[in-house]
Structure 1
């Protein structure tokens, strides 16, 4: 017997065009080993549009994170898989736009195999993205700074930023900030650190990372979107230490993870 998962999209909240876009995107990307497989089965009920996907038996990453984060070796095992999935999307001109813990599915409880999922916000590179009514910790600063009526051309660097936030989160068990905007003190500290261009001046919880990991985060979370690395550039850091040999004792401020 084959177990499958069904994604239901309420008709009152989801136009048929949006359903067809997400189903088409999901189907076209499902050939990659680290993207959840979508079956060629779609239908509708009186209330919902439905399509069928492979089951992720161990849930998603948000169910695995505890307040202290995950083991470094475990993280280094699955992060390249996420990078590969993003690279696959980006090479085909697609921007995910919703990289977060909830959308990294686990095929086993040890996180040895993960799959990227949820392509409801996925659009082609160069599509105009409007100002959002809200921001979440994964949202890139260029999106956070949009004013009502403004639009931004979608670029893979938006996903790379969210990938960097996700990596920090799985390593520490907390978000680096609530929002990548000037009113957030944690983000202001990070932005100040980057502009000083001195890895040794890491503020707060960034001190628990090695110099190599700090550079990795600078590459992923470059304030200027055009200076961000690609998702696959993370591979050059996988064999380097990410945790400082003697992390500071006073790491009191943090943003608690919540489901978004």
Structure 2
């Protein structure tokens, strides 16, 4: 990883912030225009309190050098820091990521194959350099053309060299391979290219069906347990019913997913070269094609939620009712939310006090301290004078000669 000096920049002076593209615990993604060149670009701002300098340089380094591939987001050789953030710039994908483009019935077989082919090419590019992305998901595949003829892999914050020991943190459960989920939080495991293959399988499955195959590749997820039983059967001596979602796929597509979503890591391929064998095959059955044009009541409950674990509509409604009973807002004012985010950015990223103002503040503070000392001196003199002056004899006393009145 290359370490280099990054200059200090005041965002407000060099960029016009046009839009907040994304935000989360990782930082902010801002669409900005560089004033000097009139160039529109994305700024990825990583908060210093949560980002070590080494992690920032690593992500910037990988993003910059991998971006030469046509299916990996282009990163510009522009990096700097502000008072609270490390920042680097990338090209803008106006159509967003796959999450915002995949409908509840998927994107169709043709488009899914286009995405799969390009994503596999990007991952092969990483794997040839002995790198593991480790965070392949819908959110990290950007769409640059509406017909999905150009998609690009992004976000290399979790990328590591194959074989590196990494600590398990907050992996996104639906995409995590089973061997990673078996690792306890804060324990280490080896980053392997087969992890990317598993995540590639999940992304492709969602593109085809519009559904996650399961919420978690663990023994506490009934959908995954059913898949395990089906995957382990040979279909002859021990026939097991196919999981519902896999009935939407042709036998050849099922064979492909059984290969990429192999629960045993030592049996799962470490690359995606085998994808080419399946690209000419049909992936979706006629039943699934009918489902794309006519959503029947039978489809309700077919797909697990894309965003929550073991949730159902009934559970969500109960939760919303309980929150409402206690006077807690359950709807989001998007305009107010956007205003709050803009205020946050203005305060923590853009607004950086000039040195002249800081010097003026220091001078004002010194003047106030001098005034306080002068006031304290006057009080001390006044108290000293009061102590030295004779007592007031006109004031009646309740004691004479040491004795009180009877």
The RMSD of aligned alpha carbons is: 2.0
1:58 and 2:95 aligned: yes
Measure how far apart 1:8 and its partner are.
Answer: 0.7
Structure 2 match to 1:214: 254
Pick from 6, 31, 38 the counterpart of residue 68 of structure 2.
Answer: 31
**Structure 2: distance between partners of 1:69 and 1:204:** 16
Q: 1:167 to 1:61 in 2, by over 3 A?
A: same
Q: Secondary structure at the match of 1:65?
A: coil
- Change in Cα spacing, 1:153 to 1:89, as seen in structure 2 (3 Å) is same
CA contact (8 A) 1:62 1:259 kept: no
What is the CA distance between 1:153 and its match in structure 2? 1.1
Question: In 2, Cα distance between the equivalents of 1:238 and 1:78?
Answer: 11
1:255 is the counterpart of 2:304: yes
CA distance, structure 2, for counterparts of residue 237 and residue 148 of structure 1: 36
Q: How many pairs does the alignment contain?
A: 260
Could you say which residue in structure 2 is the equivalent of 1:99? Answer: 136
**What is the TM-score when the length of structure 1 is the normalising length?**
0.94
Partner of 2:8: none
Tell me the residue number matched to 1:90. 127
Partner in structure 1 of residue 245 of structure 2: 205
| Preserved CA contact (<8 Å) 1:126 1:155 | yes
Aligned to 1:46: 83
What TM-score, normalized to structure 2? 0.61
The separation in 2 between residues aligned to 1:18 and 1:148, in whole angstroms, is 20
* Cα deviation 1:87-121 (Å, max 9, x = unaligned): 00011010000000000001122221000000000
Contact 2:229/2:240 (CA < 8 Å) preserved in 1?
no
Q: Does 1:236 align with 2:273?
A: no
User: Where does the alignment leave 5 or more consecutive residues of structure 1 unmatched?
Assistant: none
Q: 2: distance between equivalents of 1:134 and 1:34?
A: 24
Could you tell me which runs of 5 or more consecutive residues in structure 2 were left unpaired when the two chains were aligned. Answer: 1-37, 310-406
Moved more, 142-151 or 236-245: 142-151
Per-residue deviation, residues 169-189 of structure 1 (Å, max 9, x unmatched): 111112111110001001101
Equivalents in 1 of 2:39, 2:249: separation in Å? 43
**Does structure 2 conserve the Cα–Cα contact (< 8 Å) formed by 1:107 and 1:114?**
yes
Larger-gyration structure (1/2): 2
Distance (whole Å) between structure 2 residues aligned to residue 43 and residue 133 of structure 1: 27
- Paired with 1:201 and 1:32, the residues of 2 have a C-alpha distance of 42
| Residues 233 and 240, structure 2, Cα contact 8 Å, conserved in 1 | no
For 2:166, which of 119, 129, 138 is the aligned residue?
A: 129
Q: Which moved more, 1:82-91 or 1:222-231?
A: 222-231
Contact kept, 8 Å, 2:59 with 2:156, in 1: the verdict is yes
CA 1:145–1:171 in structure 2 vs 1: closer, same or farther (change >3 Å)? same
Change (3 A) 1:74 1:135: closer
User: Which structure is higher in RCO with an 8 Å CA cutoff and minimum separation 6?
Assistant: 1
1:9 positional shift: 0.5
Distance 1:148 1:59 in 2: 31
Contact 2:137 2:203 in 1 (8 A): yes
Report the CA distance shift for 1:7/1:209 in structure 2 as closer, same or farther (over 3 A): same
Give yes or no for the alignment of 1:4 onto 2:44: no
Matches within 5 A, 1:103-114: 103-114=140-151
Q: Displacement, 1:69?
A: 0.9
Residues 1:86 and 1:186: Cα distance change in structure 2 (over 3 Å)? same
Larger mean Cα displacement after TM superposition, 189-198 or 117-126: 189-198
Work out which of the residue numbers 146, 167, 182 in structure 1 matches 2:219.
182
Instruction: Return the offset for 1:246.
Output: 3.6
SS at match of 1:255: coil
Superposition pairs of residues 134-153 of structure 1, within 5 angstroms: 135-148=172-185, 150-153=187-190
